[in-house]
Chain A
Amino acid sequence: MANTKTDEKLQKIAKELLESGEANLFIGYTKGSNPQRMRPVFITKPEEAEKLSFSRHAVQDLAVFLKKQEVKKFGKIGIAVKGCDEKAVNTLIQEYQISRDDIKIIGMQCNGVIKQNLADKGETEVSEYTVYDKCLICREHTPVLYDFLIETEEPELSLSGNVKPYAEIEKLESMSAEEKNAFWAQEFDKCIKCYACRQACPLCYCSRCIVEKNMPQWIDTNSEETGNAQWNLIRAYHLSGRCIGCGECERACPVNIPLMLINEKMAKDVYNLFGYKSGLDINAKPVFGVFSESDFNDFIK
């Protein structure tokens, strides 16, 4: 397929960054295993920048690679990120995992990416019925922080209001504790403990995850009721106030657990309780890393 204008702009920027030495590695997208798939690509030579591409199928959050040791060793890195994914970069900077000076952010303006399971069946149209729920609530079509911005050629997503993003959250909120418990017991029963949710998450960067600690064994190793519930709940807590809503955990989950219902609910509660949204400001203090006198609890005062 021919290059789009977006592709050309992206390739030019990446090439220049690699030539000037402002980046030793450029992480972007290239065409994937079928016409409706994109995949990550790692460019170190300026002449290979022509592999770069971007489209409505660029579903992956490339910020996930910034936590990899194999990637970190390149030092200065250029990365193409959509608005949602860029919030992960901000959080990594905020949490001192990467330095702002070592990263060149190429913000990819985006009006929604098509759900991969639909794309695999041949879907090519962007509409409120085909994009991820995160796209329907997105307020960062233009990334909040970037060194270069590549404007989108895609039309704006038209929303009729017929599709209610994360509609299940309201249903869950109206349930009794027993009903919620039953709902999640059924969902967690599917879990196979592959930890794809953790690995696909740009913010799950612990060098040793709590499930890998066995002195003591905090989390039961079994993939049954107890072990699965413990794992999914501990991950929910570790991501609350941090999750930027890229949805990669849910996309990676091979057994289709609706993990974004947990993450979005936690994000919603954190906003309602603390007025904080993650990933928007690299200078903000992480919500659970600070105490403010305006916090609603007074037990610590």
Chain B
Amino acid sequence: MEEKYFEISAENLKRFVDSVISGGFEVIAPVNKDGDVFYGKIEKFDDANLDILLPKMSYKEYLLPKTETLFEYSFSGMDTAIKDGIEAVAGENQKRVIFGGRPCDAAAGPIMEKVFNWDYKDEFFNERFKNLTIVSIACEKPDNYCFCAEMQLSPESSYGSDILLKKSGAQYFAVVTSEKGLNLINPYINLFKETTKAQVPADKDWKKLFEIEKAKSFLDKNFEHNYFQDRFLSCIGCGVCTYTCPTCHCFDIQDEGNLKEGRRIRNWDSCQFGIFTLHTSGHNPRVTQGDRYRQRLMHKFKIYSEKFDKYLCVGCGRCSRNCPEDIDIKEIAKDLAGMA
């Protein structure tokens, strides 16, 4: 769809969100919770905390739940009944909006979509992804852990958002990029005033601290470099980087059940765990945390981009902010680029 542009006042934005909620949508937005900010369901616009940069966790769980039932089975005499998990997922997210996330989080969706549709089409991911409506707000002040500009995005990028809101004085400009976005605003179109692209403030010239292509070219040639073992001696393998990451998507398939019934599920998994690559033989090709964090860098900045033409990192900086040992991925990517 060709992008459409609207103006909306701050008061009307509040009315719009409240109307969407009373219209039967579940709206997920940054909310104050447990002393921090997380994505959570809001009952009204004012419940959302739009003053912060990013919630502690991403909203990945609405695309890839932390545990998902792929199918259930039960035995009765000689009969086996199987229930496909996709039945429970059908139509999920049709009535769900993520509101007030940032362009980095929004970009994670279409980037992950590539791996879920590469050889095998993952119907669970696809069903959720195609239905979820994303209304993001452009960032005005990224912090020192942010590096979306380096990751070929921008604090004002509309990539992956159905609607991107850009604040301008007391009002917002809404860039609508998809039918889903248009369908969301259509019932309340009187709150919006259509305008042209020329009226929307141009994106700022966001400065880059390093070239990600250089980091990649270092990774291309330096798999055995000492940097990884030395730098990641401080990594405790907690996996927080991967679990809070909007694009990390590894999962582990497990069976749970007994002689009568059971289910096959998939759970979030992490390349930072020692058991992740442990072979049945007892051999483990990734022995140290250096090996494991290198894998994370390789996957984000080299392997994924070679296969899917996009880096598997949106530069949100969550892994750095949340790392208990203060490993800063932006600093590392800059180091790598500097060594190239």
Interface, chain A (partner B; CB < 8 A)? 32-34, 37-42, 60, 64-65, 68-71, 117, 120, 190, 192-196, 199-200, 212, 217, 220-224, 227, 248, 251-252, 254-256
Q: Which of B33, B35, B66, B144 contacts A34 (CB 8 A)?
A: B144
Given contacts A33-B328, A120-B321, A221-B265, contact A256 B34 (CB under 8 A): yes
Residues in chain B near residue A194, CB distance under 8 A: 238-240, 242-243, 268, 270
Does B145 contact A40, Cβ atoms closer than 8 Å?
no
Interface centre among A64, A117, A120, A252 (most CB of B within 10 A): A252
**Contact A255–B324 (Cβ < 8 Å):** no
A selection of 5 A-B contacts at a CB cut-off of 8 Å is: A70-B233, A194-B270, A196-B239, A255-B57, A256-B35
Whether A193 touches B288, Cβ cut-off 8 Å, given contacts A39-B326, A220-B256, A256-B34, is: no
Residues of A within 8 A of B256 (CB): 217, 220-222
What is the chain A residue whose CB lies nearest that of B230? A42
Across the interface, A222 reaches (CB within 8 A) one of B144, B265, B327, namely B265
Q: Are B267 and A223 in contact (CB under 8 A)?
A: yes
Query: In the bound complex, what is the Cα–Cα distance between A193 and B238 (angstroms)?
Result: 10
Residue B322 at the chain A interface, CB threshold 8 Å: yes
Beyond the given pairs A40-B234, A200-B236, 13 more chain A to chain B contacts, judged by CB atoms under 8 angstroms and listed by A's residue number, are A32-B326, A32-B328, A33-B145, A39-B327, A40-B326, A65-B233, A120-B321, A194-B239, A195-B238, A223-B268, A255-B38, A256-B34, A256-B36
For A39, the chain B residues whose CB sits under 8 A away are 234, 325-327
Does B320 reach chain A (CB closer than 8 Å)? yes
B94 CB, min distance to chain A CBs, angstroms? 23
Specify which chain A residues have a CB less than 8 angstroms from the CB of B237 in the assembled complex. Answer: 199
Binding site of B, secondary structure by majority: helix, strand, loop or mixed?
Answer: mixed
Considering only CB atoms, which chain A residue lies closest to B322 in the complex?
A254
Q: Is the CB of A252 within 8 A of B267?
A: no
Which bucket holds chain B's interface residue count?
Answer: 35 or more
| CB of A206 to closest CB in B, whole Å | 11
With A and B bound together, what is the CA distance between A60 and B327 in angstroms? 12
Given the complex, which residues of A lie within 8 Å of B242, measured CB to CB? 194
When A and B form their complex, which 5 residue pairs have the shortest distance between CB atoms, in order from nearest? A39-B326, A196-B238, A256-B34, A199-B238, A194-B243
Q: Is A227's CB under 8 angstroms from B67's CB?
A: yes
What 0/1 readout, one digit per residue, does chain B (227-253) give for beta carbons within 8 Å of chain A?
A: 001100110111110111000000010
Q: Are B67 and A224 in contact (CB under 8 A)?
A: yes
- In the bound complex, do residue B270 and residue A251 qualify as a contact, i.e. CB atoms below 8 Å apart? no
Q: Which residues of B contact A190 (CB under 8 A)?
A: 34
Report B-chain residues with C-beta under 8 Å of the C-beta of A221.
252, 254, 256, 265, 267
With an 8 A cutoff between CB atoms, is B304 at the interface?
A: no
Indicate if the CB atoms of B324 and A200 lie closer than 8 Å: yes
**Which of A60, A120, A196, A212 is most buried by chain B, counting CB atoms within 10 A of its CB?**
A196
B56 within 8 A of A: yes
Within the complex, which residue of B66, B254, B326 is in contact with A192, where a contact is CB–CB below 8 Å? B66
User: A62 CA to B289 CA in the complex, in Å?
Assistant: 16
**B288–A192 contact, CB under 8 A?**
no
Instruction: Say if the beta carbon of B275 comes within 8 Å of chain A.
Output: yes
How far apart sit A220 and B67, CA to CA, in the bound complex (Å)? 11
CA distance A91 to B275 in the complex (A): 26
A53 → B minimal CB distance (Å): 13
- Most A C-beta atoms less than 10 A away, residue of B57, B242, B331: B57
The answer to whether A223 touches B66 (Cβ under 8 A) is yes
Do A60 and B267 touch (CB < 8 A)? Answer: no
Q: Which of A60, A71, A217, A254 has the most CB atoms of chain B within a 10 A radius of its CB?
A: A254
- For residue A32, which residues in chain B have a CB less than 8 angstroms away from its CB? 326, 328
Q: Which of B35, B324, B326 contacts A248 (CB 8 A)?
A: B324
